[in-house]
Amino acid sequence: MSTEETNHSSNEDMQNALFIIKIGGNIIDNPAALEAFLADFSKINAAKILVHGGGKIATKIGTQLGIESKYIDGRRITDDATIDLVTMVYGGLANKKIVAQLQALGTNAIGLTGADANIIPAKKRPVKTIDYGWVGDVETSGIKHQTLNFFLGNGITPVFAPLTHDTSGHILNTNADTIASSLAVALSGSFKVRLIYCFEKKGVLEDVNNDASVIRKLDRNYYQQLKEEKKLFEGILPKIDNAFAAIDAGVSQVLIGDARDLIKNTTNDNEGTLIY
C-alpha cells in the first residue's frame, strides 16, 4: 500500500467539511445559469471541489465538426475523433471558462483533468458486448487525495473536467457524475464529505414534469419501486447509482438538487433529494 493510501485515515482533518459539487451540462450550456451558479459556489465558505460535465456542449460542437454523438446506457461511445473533441471541449473550453469566471469571483480555482498530477488514474473500459472506445473507469484507490489535500490546504479550489487517464499516455472520457462520487469516496477518509449533484430540476421527481413532486428522501427500496414504475429514466439513473455508491463507501451526505438551490442545499435547510 502506498503512503498516499495509508496516511489519510489518521488525518487530523477528519471532522473538516468538504463540499464536492457536480454541475451538469444543461447548466454549463446556459451562460446566465452558469454565472449564477458560480457566484453561489464562490460563496461556500469551506473547502470545496467542483466537477463539471459538458456533454451537451460536446454534442453541439461535435455536430458542427461532423462528429456524431452516440450513447449507450448514458455513456458516450468515444472513438478517436470523439476523444479529441471531448479533450478540447471539457479540458479546454468548459474547464478554462469556469476557472476564469471563478477567479473573477475571488475563488482561486485550478483547472484539472485526472491526468494532471496523476490525480485520477483510470482503466479503459474493457470491451465485452459493447466497445465504448476511450472511456475510462476510475481506479478510486489510486486517487491522489494527498495532492488534493495540498491544494485545499492552500486555499486552492480544484475544478475537474470529466477526463481521466490510463497512465500509459491516453486520455479517457469519464462520466462527470462518476468522477464526483469517486473523489468523494477517496476523500471521505480525510474529510466529512458532502456530495451535491446540481442540475436543472428540483431533485429526483416523482413526476419528471412536475417540479413540485420532489422526493425529499430516497432509499434503495424506494429507488427500486420508482424504477419499476418507470418514473426514472435516462441521466437520473446513473446519477442515483453513483449517489448510492458514495453513501455505501462512507461519504457523509449525498444530495441531488437544483443548481439554483446550491446555497440552501449546503445547509440543513436543503430543498433537494437526500440519498440515504
Ligand X SMILES: CC(=O)N[C@@H](CCC(=O)OP(=O)(O)O)C(=O)O
- Residues lying near ligand X in the complex (CB under 6 A): 24-25, 53-56, 58, 75-76, 86, 135, 162, 173-176
- How far apart are CB 208 and ligand ADP at their closest, in Å? 4
Minimal CA–CA distance to 176: which of 20, 7, 15, 63? 20
16 CB neighbour count, 10 Å cutoff:
15
Give the number of C-alpha atoms closer than 13 A to the C-alpha of residue 8, restricted to the C-beta side. Answer: 23
Determine whether the annotation assigns residue 54 to a binding site: yes
Q: Confirm whether residue 55 is marked as ligand binding.
A: yes
Which of 86, 99, 186, 204 contacts ligand ADP by CB under 6 A?
Answer: 204
Binding status of residue 60 toward ligand ADP by CB under 6 A? no
Does residue 108 have a known ligand-binding role? Answer: no
Q: Should residue 272 be labelled a site residue for ligand ADP when binding is judged by CB under 6 A?
A: no
Contact partner, 173, from ligand ADP, ligand X, none, Cβ < 5-8 Å per class: ligand X
The whole-angstrom separation of Cα 274 and Cα 276 is 6
220 is in an annotated binding site: no
Contact of 23 with 196, CB cutoff 8 Å: no
Among 8, 18, 20, 25, binds ligand ADP (CB under 6 A): 25
Kindly report the backbone phi and psi dihedral angles of residue 134, in degrees, each rounded to the nearest multiple of 5, phi listed first: -85, 60
Provide the CB-side half-sphere exposure for 235 (13 A, CA). Answer: 19
Closer of 23 and 185 to ligand ADP (Cβ): 23
Alpha-helical (H) ranges within 113-256 are: 145-153, 176-187, 220-228, 236-248
Residues that bind ligand ADP (CB under 6 A): 24-26, 53, 199, 201, 204-205, 208, 231-236, 239
Annotated binding residues for substrate: 54-55, 76, 173
